Amino acid sequence: MAQIETEQPRWRQVYAVISGRIRSGEIEVGERVPSLVDLTAEFGIANATAQKVVRQLRADGLIRTEPGIGSKVADREYWESETA
């Protein structure tokens, strides 16, 4: 389980880790991002918290969700600023 310890809300901490993986290229454009089940297992968070992370990643343009397929990293042209 990934360890993250700051005074930010858990969803923000997980968001920072996943968005960092996307922005660094660790998770490449077009590649699937961790599922809700994967996020809850890796970070020890509730499903609702994982959903909030995914919603924010989508709102910032970092991922695109396709029904029946899942969420994948969006093309860089859709990404919001680096300070999201």
DSSP labels for 19-66? HHHHHHTSS-TTPBPPPHHHHHHHHT--HHHHHHHHHHHHHTTSEEEE
Residue 5 belongs to some domain of the structure: no
pLDDT at residue 80 is higher than 80:
no
Quote the domain boundaries for residue 55.
10-78
Give how many domains the chain has, as a whole number: 1
Residue 3 belongs to some domain of the structure: no
Q: Are 8 and 53 in contact (CB under 8 A)?
A: no
Instruction: Tell me the mean pLDDT in the region 42-65.
Output: 96
pLDDT at 75: 95
Residue 49 belongs to some domain of the structure: yes
Residue 60 belongs to some domain of the structure: yes
In the predicted model, what is the mean pLDDT of the chain? 90
Residue 26 belongs to some domain of the structure: yes
Residue 1 belongs to some domain of the structure: no
Backbone angles phi, psi at 55, to 5 degrees: -60, -40
Q: What is the pLDDT of residues 1-35, one digit of tens each?
A: 666 566 889 999 999 999 999 999 999 999 999 99
Instruction: Assign residue 38 the CATH number of its domain.
Output: 1.10.10.10
